[in-house]
Amino acid sequence: MSLDPVAYLPYKDPDDFIREVTDLIWVDRSISFIRENYEPDSIVHGAYGTSTTRQEVIEGTLMRISATPDRTGQAEDVIWEARGDDAFLSSHLVLSGHLQTSSHSRTIANCLYRKGRMVEEWVVRDSLAGALESGLDVDELARAQAFRGYTGSWTEPAPADPIAKGDSGARPDDYRSEVETVIDMIQTVWNDRDLQKVEKFFHRDLVLLTVGNRVVIRPEGYRRALLRFLESFPAGQFEIRDIQTNYDVRYAGLRVAVTWKFVGDYNGVPNYGSLTGKPIELLGISQFTFHQGALVKEVRLWDDIALRAQIAGVRGDEPAAFSNIY
């Protein structure tokens, strides 16, 4: 699909657009640029719910920058795909940390830009990584936050055919075989729980990067990581909300990004404190890398502190009145 330059000017392409705009705001501290970059009624679906104003993005960005002034972020991957001839959906994997340290964490921000302006965003941060690195009590952190809840597109049923159309709109039919492989894997392994089939979809030497800065290797490691999450929500299911694909040698070839929602009752193993028996809604994003027709890498992120806050709020653990959506 041909993309009109109005979608990314004055930059050379959407990849350059995303990397440079993010650096301008988060590294160069030009927070005011958000007024030019976001529509006034821009929508952001974050770990704590949905915000519907640009002003909340400005305020939230300021608070995050102020809280971690020594951290610097840079693009680890940008998976972008056209949405019509004047828009694109990007999946921006950001690696952030101090310039010379082993302390780091990841964020994925999926942004729908139309004519160079952000209209809707889905963002997840690995907040657990920083908490563990600092030795903080994750449950205490969760109790200090409030889950606002979702509105708009995130409350609607999952797209019936995400290959054709996701939450961000109609998508080009690019790399259909690989997209079908990812969808089949999510249904077979994640939802149907046929964990033996991991080896059908992944290379033996797979790598999974996930929350808490964990690095998981090999099919058996992948199975155990999935079981560890699912055991708390044993009947939960993953909904595919959006997909984008991109081929770029800079980022090791073909990647497929999937925005997903996990919905399940907290009635299994009490890894998040005493059980509630109530459903949770979890926003997550995965980025998959292909090599020779099979999956070789996945980056899978959600905000585990926000998940704990959601559960704590249902349980009545004195949630705070405010949470920074952005």
Q: What is the pLDDT of residues 114-134, one digit of tens each?
A: 999 999 999 999 999 999 988
Q: Is residue 80 part of a domain?
A: yes
Q: Is residue 14 part of a domain?
A: yes
Q: Is residue 270 part of a domain?
A: yes
Q: Is residue 156 part of a domain?
A: no
Average pLDDT, the chain: 95
Helix (H, G, I), strand (E, B) or coil at 125: strand
CA distance 81 to 312: 37
For range 217-221, the mean pLDDT? 98
Shared-domain flag, residues 121 and 173: no
Shared-domain flag, residues 223 and 132: no
Shared-domain flag, residues 276 and 169: yes
Q: Is residue 153 part of a domain?
A: no
For range 225-238, the mean pLDDT? 98
Shared-domain flag, residues 228 and 310: yes
Q: Are 112 and 83 in contact (CB under 8 A)?
A: yes
Greater confidence, 315 or 79? Answer: 79
Shared-domain flag, residues 168 and 283: yes
Q: Is residue 10 part of a domain?
A: yes
Shared-domain flag, residues 52 and 176: no
- Secondary structure of 263-309 in the HEC alphabet? EEECCCCCECECCCCCEEEEEEEEEEEEECCEEEEEEEECCHHHHHH
Q: Is residue 148 part of a domain?
A: no
- Domain end point (choices 112, 143, 174): 143
The set of residues, in sequence order, having a beta carbon less than 8 Å from that of 242 and lying 6+ positions away, is 89, 110, 122, 159, 162, 166, 167, 168, 257, 258, 259
Shared-domain flag, residues 73 and 171: no
Shared-domain flag, residues 104 and 185: no
Count up the domains in the chain and report the number. Answer: 2
Residue 142 has pLDDT above 90, yes or no: yes
Which segments within the chain are labelled E, that is strand?
Answer: 38-46, 49-51, 72-82, 87-97, 104-114, 117-125, 165-166, 169-170, 202-210, 214-217, 237-248, 253-265, 279-291, 294-301
CATH of the domain at 99: 3.10.450.50
- Amino acid at site 281: E
Say how many CA atoms lie within 13 Å of 58 toward its Cβ: 15
For range 82-96, the mean pLDDT? 97
Closest by alpha carbon to 269, among 228, 226, 232, 308? Answer: 232
Shared-domain flag, residues 29 and 128: yes
Q: Are 67 and 145 in contact (CB under 8 A)?
A: no
pLDDT at 318: 67
Closest by alpha carbon to 95, among 77, 70, 122? Answer: 77
Shared-domain flag, residues 175 and 282: yes
Q: Locate 242 and state its tokens.
A: 């959006």
Sign of the C-alpha dihedral, residues 22, 27, 28, 34? positive
Shared-domain flag, residues 137 and 267: no
Q: Locate 37 and state its tokens.
A: 């970059």
Q: Rounded to two decimals, what is the model's pTM?
A: 0.95
Shared-domain flag, residues 294 and 256: yes
Tens digit of pLDDT for each residue in 143-172?
A: 999 999 999 999 999 999 999 999 999 999
Q: Is residue 258 part of a domain?
A: yes
Q: Are 325 and 121 in contact (CB under 8 A)?
A: no
- Domain end point (choices 108, 143, 178): 143
Domain with 284 in it = 161-315
Question: Helix, strand, coil shares of the chain as percentages rounded to 5?
Answer: 35, 35, 30
